[in-house]
Each structure stands twice: as C-alpha cells, then as structure tokens.
Amino acid sequence: MAIVRFHPSITGHDTELTTDLAAEVSLHFRIPLTFVAYFHCPDGTHGELRDFHCKQAAHLASVRAVRDLVAEHVVAVRDEHADKLQAVIAAGREVAAARVLQHVLRARADRAAADSAEQQALASLGALGITEERAALVSEQLREVSRLPFAL
C-alpha cells in the first residue's frame, strides 16, 4: 500500500516565485521507499509531471522495480483528486504571495531609507552653502587629479 501526500511546492527565488504541486509517495517494497513527484502548474491547474525521483539510490533493484508503476499511480491519484488539489495549489499561491510581499515591504523600507539619506545629504550641501552642481564639478576635478602620476 502506498501513501500519497500532496503539498504545494514553491519554486523560484525572491520576486519570481511559482507555485507547483508536489507529491510524496511512501511505500514498502522489500525496503521502505519514498518517491517525490513535482507537477509544474503555471496556470494554477494540476499541471504536468516535471520531475519524479526516489529519495533512495536509483540503482537499487527495489527502486527500479516499482519506479514506473509509482509514477503512473501518483499521476492517477492526482487526476482522481484534481478538484480537491485546487485548494492545495491555491494555498501555495497564497504562501508565495506572502513571500513576495515581504520583498515588496523590504524594498519600500530600503527606498524610504535611501530617500531620507538623500534628503539629509542635500541638507548638508545646503548648510555648506555649495550647490549640487558645484560639488559635482569639484568631485570630477578631484577624480582627474587622482589619476595623474605622482611625482616627487
């Protein structure tokens, strides 16, 4: 008897996350085996089988004997429960959205800090009585002088 557990699988990184469906199949055939299947779900449906592998070594006779049967079984279970799995995919999308939101909030905080630093720097220029244009000109002149060869 095989036990199939479905859960959302969030792939990608930072702001480019996608939600897929993963299944873990546990069974005992001579030895305990665990297979993992990943279904790519770009449009939120149950998707196509993208990856299927065993957590144990692929060269084991037990793995080779049941691998194809288990792959067929997990696809059949997924198809049989497609309606119920929509909730799993939706939950994964919500978790992915929460993660992306954290990046949005961090970017907003970084932008606010940068805006504040810019305002403080501009205020310092004003307090020195130097315009931004004049400071840029002096900065360029200093860069040119620093490129000159040093002579004793």
pLDDT of res. 46: 64
Instruction: Check residue 55 and report its DSSP letter.
Output: S
Compute CA 143 distance to the chain's CA centroid, rounded to the nearest angstrom: 41
The model carries a pTM of 0.64
SS3 131: coil
pLDDT of res. 90: 87
Show the tokens assigned to 19. 């939600």
Write the Ramachandran bin of 83: left for phi over 0, alpha for psi from -120 to 50, otherwise beta: alpha
Largest CA distance in the chain: 87
Beta-carbon contacts of residue 10 (< 8 Å; ≥ 6 apart) = 17, 18, 19, 20, 92, 95, 96, 99
For each of the chain's 152 residues, which pLDDT tens digit applies? 889 999 888 877 766 777 788 899 999 898 999 999 998 877 666 678 888 889 888 888 888 899 899 999 999 999 899 888 888 888 888 988 898 899 999 999 999 999 999 999 999 998 999 999 999 999 998 888 888 776 55
pLDDT of res. 44: 64
